[in-house]
Homo-oligomer: A and B are copies of this chain.
Amino acid sequence: MIVVMKPGATQEQITRVSDRIEDLGFKVHLSAGEEHTILGVIGNGRPVERDQIELMEGVDRTVSIQRPFKLAGRDFHPQDTVFPIDGVTIGGQQLLVMAGPCAVETHDQLLAAAAAVKGAGGHVLRGGAFKPRTSPYSFQGLGEEGLRLLALAREKTGLPIVTEVVSPDLVPLVSAYADILQIGARNMQNFALLHAVGESKRPVLLKRGMMSTIEELLMSAEYILSHGNERVILCERGIRTFEKYTRNTLDISAVPLLKQLSHLPVIVDPSHATGKWELVGPVARAAIAAGADGLIIEVHPQPEEALSDGIQSLKPERFAALMDELRPIASAVGRTL
């Protein structure tokens, strides 16, 4: 941390700040500039509570120097994290495509979707059993019955399943069925939930909140990692901006940036990012070209009958066509699909 003193700070104020920092167990390195005196705070491993220093007389502001994500960052973990999930692998040369309906609705709907995903070469089946919905009057998911249908679809197709968990007390139940636990965008900073999945044995798919910075996403990953779960997949799914023609604005730069800052695998959700099925294909291609390790895509056998997110869901034949479009892009960036 650096402390920038105000122009005109007195020697006494500078001394008082310096003493305070030393009292907290840090060393101070003083540097007098033309207008501003600057104090470098040399760490003892613990973070400083910045506000305490900023409030002292004569202090203009403080500036953080170290990245706050020690476990999620590359500084102390330079090599990529690659891990297997039930026979498939994420983070390596092979790309991973997760696909399926927004919500599990019926036996037939889910099995048709699962067959379509499997048939087109998808690797993981997605489907929501517990659905966070903005309105209390919208379909909230089938609950445990949805989990049972997902397990059945896995049995029929061999595809591992990913599904969302929305509350800490549901982690054991969802873990009993799912291969990957999904933390939805609205829960990215539900720290009680992050704590709970951090203690589970399942890999976690962590979606970026729609108004969360990249640093906050990595801090939420840090919660999970620091509770002992090392298998975290980051997911860029669009952020909220002033633009309203799309549901969210996919932050495509986040893909190479996350790969640069962190060793964790990064996937993209083009369905929630755009909210329009016509845009899913181009954005999915862009994600792979930008270096994503995989995708999560909404596929529904009959989008015009879907109980949620129909407008952004691909029909089976369109999903199959997209998989065919993605293969040469994957190859162009040295990956396989």
Residues of A within 8 A of B (CB): 2, 4, 7, 29, 31-36, 38, 40, 42-43, 47, 49-52, 54-56, 63, 65-66, 68, 75, 132-138, 166-170, 186-187, 189-193, 209-216, 219, 222-223, 226-227, 239-246, 249-257, 260, 273-274, 277-279, 281-283, 285-291, 303-312, 325, 328-329, 331-333
A291 touches which of B213, B242, B253, B282 (Cβ 8 Å): B282
Q: Are B282 and A214 in contact (CB under 8 A)?
A: no
Q: Is the interface of A mostly helix, strand, loop or mixed?
A: mixed
Q: Can you list 7 pairs linking A and B with CB atoms under 8 Å apart?
A: A33-B65, A51-B306, A51-B309, A52-B310, A55-B277, A135-B219, A282-B290
Q: Complex formed: what's the CA distance from A328 to B334 in Å? A: 11
Min CB gap A251→B, angstroms:
5
Contacts A35-B66, A169-B168 given; does A253 touch B273 at CB 8 Å? yes
A167 touches which of B192, B210, B246 (Cβ 8 Å): B192
Contacts of A56 on B, CB cut-off 8 Å?
A: 304
Q: Are A286 and B252 in contact (CB under 8 A)?
A: yes
Q: Are A214 and B245 in contact (CB under 8 A)?
A: yes
Closest to A196 in B: B167
Min CB gap A166→B, angstroms:
5
A31 touches which of B29, B136, B167, B331 (Cβ 8 Å): B29
A255 touches which of B31, B49, B254, B282 (Cβ 8 Å): B282
Pairs A-B, 7 closest by C-beta atoms: A211-B211, A51-B310, A289-B289, A328-B332, A286-B286, A256-B282, A51-B311
Q: Are A223 and B136 in contact (CB under 8 A)?
A: yes
Q: Are A38 and B40 in contact (CB under 8 A)?
A: yes
Contacts of A75 on B, CB cut-off 8 Å?
A: 7
Known: A239-B249, A256-B278, A282-B290. 17 other contacts (CB 8 A): A7-B75, A31-B40, A35-B66, A52-B304, A52-B305, A55-B303, A136-B223, A136-B226, A166-B191, A167-B167, A211-B240, A239-B241, A256-B283, A286-B290, A325-B332, A328-B328, A331-B332
Min CB gap A326→B, angstroms:
9
Q: Complex formed: what's the CA distance from A308 to B170 in Å? A: 30
Q: Are A310 and B253 in contact (CB under 8 A)?
A: no
Q: Are A211 and B290 in contact (CB under 8 A)?
A: no
Q: Complex formed: what's the CA distance from A333 to B55 in Å? A: 26
A328 touches which of B223, B325, B331 (Cβ 8 Å): B331
Q: Complex formed: what's the CA distance from A179 to B129 in Å? A: 35
Q: Are B190 and A190 in contact (CB under 8 A)?
A: yes
Min CB gap A64→B, angstroms:
10
A246 touches which of B246, B257, B303 (Cβ 8 Å): B257
Min CB gap A264→B, angstroms:
16
Q: Are B241 and A249 in contact (CB under 8 A)?
A: yes
Q: Are A253 and B256 in contact (CB under 8 A)?
A: no
A243 touches which of B33, B168, B214, B277 (Cβ 8 Å): B214
